[in-house]
């Protein structure tokens, strides 16, 4: 068995955690908070049923400098409890989050440690009732976890899976397909060490079974090797872009976020990928990455079509990190003002005015752009009288300061002679 990256043993010092991993935990906590806010937005709602599955739970606690910090299982428990208390205080009849937790780790020493942590916490009464700890390989128990989530929420299948693996091959893509196909409203967080995979390609004696877990056949591996050996400086970015598409296709996730958590100390990066079926979920995780701008990076450009495979750009030009800071936001807004006229012009030629949801959903996976950036750019073009915004029935919304997902963007009968649309011809939408 491969030596674990973190090791928990009763009576031994806690494993040390890095700042980049703490950033990952912050993203998870912020997302759970925001998720619960969104799905409980109806004021008369009194309860929510949801299942949380942590497939590589570890022992539940780390050391960071002189401090002790909670691991993902305790973060989930505390975050949900805090949100339940907040909602209950704001609703006349209170609020109940019917959460069930499944914490899985392949090592018994880790699950024993986690059990001891929970027994020493306020959540002890929930152990073996709504908190389940399994000593097992996640891939061998994923069907059981999906079945529990489906039974608890038959129609919605509302569940969040945290698959914080170390490396890139422990989580089989077939397991993620089981989650997303089996549960209508499941979402998955997947840690994927793309740098480790690329480095592994250097070893000609690699084991194809590891690649098989993520649905990479020999021909696909051979192509990655060819890119690595022939593209030199741009190879890493090109391989990343090929893997983006592969992950989306193999997991059957309509929406995903291709953003990195960077580790300056280890000089390596890994994807903390969010996979879902819903554009609102993709927008929310994008907004959180903008908040976590000191650790989150995007290997690509600003605006839409920001990755190499989408633009055909020189991969060497995409090697610099996009840092989600104020400068990056300005670059994205500027780029959108260049790109949106072409998108809208193309849609007008097809006699199908796009909605905000159309523009976002079709292009969000390969971009750092989020809904509010799109809104800013569209409203700016409207204020310049280059476009009009109408509601879903076609009624103009000339003075609106925000746009609904269903609002449509249309070309007005008359436009400025020298505006951004004046240079576009029919079919000019590249």
Q: How far apart are CA 103 and CA 238, in angstroms?
A: 36
User: Quick count: other Cβ atoms within 10 Å of Cβ 143?
Assistant: 13
pLDDT at position 1 is 39
Closest CA to 73 of 111, 129, 38: 111
- Whole-angstrom Cα Rg for the chain: 23
C-beta pairs of 242-248 under 8 Å, 24+ apart in sequence: 242/309, 243/194, 243/197, 244/307, 244/309, 244/365, 244/366, 245/309, 246/214, 246/215, 246/216, 246/220, 247/173, 247/192, 247/214, 247/273, 248/365
Closest CA to 160 of 177, 197, 137, 185: 185
Distances (CA, A) of 263 to 3, 19, 299, 323, 399: 21, 8, 14, 14, 45
DSSP designation for 270:
E
Closest CA to 165 of 147, 135, 191: 191
Can you say whether the dihedral through the CA atoms of 291, 295, 298, 301 is positive or negative? positive
Helices (H) and strands (E) in the chain, counts: 14, 13
pLDDT at position 417 is 45
Indicate the burial class of 370 (C-beta count within 10 angstroms; 0-12, 13-18, 19 or more): buried
Q: How far apart are CA 192 and CA 237, in angstroms?
A: 15
CATH 3.40.50.150 intervals, the chain: 19-297
Chunked mean pLDDT (size 10), the chain, 430 residues: 74 93 94 96 93 98 96 98 97 95 98 98 98 98 97 90 95 97 96 89 75 93 88 77 90 89 66 94 92 76 64 49 79 89 74 86 87 93 90 88 92 60 48
pLDDT at position 390 is 92
The neighbouring-strand residues paired with 99 are: 50
Q: How far is CA 300 from the centre of its chain?
A: 16
Closest CA to 255 of 366, 142, 133: 366
CATH 1.10.10 intervals, the chain: 334-410
Closest CA to 335 of 380, 375, 301, 298: 301
Q: In which residue are the tokens 């090109």 written?
A: 238
pLDDT at position 285 is 94
The neighbouring-strand residues paired with 52 are: 101, 160
pLDDT at position 205 is 63
Q: The domain 19-297 is classified under which CATH number: 3.80.10.10, 3.40.50.300, 3.40.50.150, 3.40.50.720?
A: 3.40.50.150
pLDDT at position 427 is 43
pTM, entire model:
0.90
Angle value at C-alpha 36, between 35 and 42, nearest 5 degrees = 115
Total residue count of the chain as it appears in this document: 430
DSSP designation for 321:
P
Q: Are 194 and 270 in contact (CB under 8 A)?
A: yes
Q: How far apart are CA 412 and CA 345, in angstroms?
A: 11
pLDDT at position 350 is 60
Dig out the tokens for 306 from the structure: 């920001």
**Strands 47-54 vs 159-163: parallel, antiparallel or unpaired:** parallel
User: Does the structural domain 334-410 have CATH classification 1.10.10?
Assistant: yes
Q: How far apart are CA 207 and CA 209, in angstroms?
A: 5
Dig out the tokens for 317 from the structure: 């030009």
Dig out the tokens for 13 from the structure: 């010092």
């Amino acid at each position: 068995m491969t030596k674990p990256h973190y090791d928990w043993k009763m009576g031994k010092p806690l494993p040390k955690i890095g700042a980049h991993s703490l950033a990952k935990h912050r993203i998870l906590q912020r997302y759970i908070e925001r998720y619960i806010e969104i799905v409980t937005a109806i004021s008369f709602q009194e309860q929510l049923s949801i299942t949380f599955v942590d497939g590589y739970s570890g022992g539940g606690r780390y050391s960071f400098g002189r401090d002790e910090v909670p691991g993902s299982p305790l973060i989930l428990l505390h975050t949900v409890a805090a949100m339940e208390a907040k909602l209950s205080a704001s609703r006349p009849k209170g609020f109940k989050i019917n959460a069930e937790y499944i914490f899985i780790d392949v090592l018994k020493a880790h699950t024993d440690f986690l059990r001891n942590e929970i027994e020493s916490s306020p959540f002890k009464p929930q152990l073996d009732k709504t908190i389940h700890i399994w000593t097992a390989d996640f891939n061998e128990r994923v069907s059981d976890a999906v079945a529990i989530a489906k039974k608890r929420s038959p129609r919605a299948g509302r569940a969040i899976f945290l698959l914080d693996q170390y490396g890139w091959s422990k989580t089989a893509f077939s397991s993620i397909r089981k989650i997303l196909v089996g549960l209508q409203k499941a979402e998955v967080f997947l840690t994927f060490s793309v740098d480790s995979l690329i480095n592994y390609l250097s070893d000609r004696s690699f084991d194809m079974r590891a690649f098989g877990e993520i649905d990479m056949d020999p021909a696909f591996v051979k192509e990655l090797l060819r890119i690595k050996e022939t593209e030199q400086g741009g190879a890493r970015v090109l391989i990343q872009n090929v893997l983006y598409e592969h992950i989306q296709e193999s997991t059957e996730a309509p929406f995903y976020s291709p953003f990195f958590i960077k580790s300056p100390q280890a000089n390596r990066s890994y994807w903390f990928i969010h996979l879902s079926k819903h554009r609102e979920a993709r927008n929310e995780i994008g907004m959180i990455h903008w908040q976590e701008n000191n650790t989150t990076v995007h290997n690509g450009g600003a605006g839409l079509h920001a990755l190499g495979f989408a633009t055909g750009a020189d991969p060497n030009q995409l090697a610099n990190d996009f840092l989600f800071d104020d400068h990056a936001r300005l670059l994205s807004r500027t780029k959108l003002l260049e790109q949106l006229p072409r998108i809208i012009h193309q849609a007008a030629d097809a006699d199908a005015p796009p909605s905000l949801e159309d523009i976002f959903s079709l292009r969000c996976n390969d971009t750092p752009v989020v809904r509010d950036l799109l809104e800013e750019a569209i409203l700016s073009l409207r204020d310049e009288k280059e476009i009009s915004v109408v509601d879903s029935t076609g009624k103009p919304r000339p003075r609106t300061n925000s746009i609904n997902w269903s609002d449509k963007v249309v070309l007005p009968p008359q436009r400025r002679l020298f505006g951004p649309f004046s240079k576009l011809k029919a079919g000019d939408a590249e």
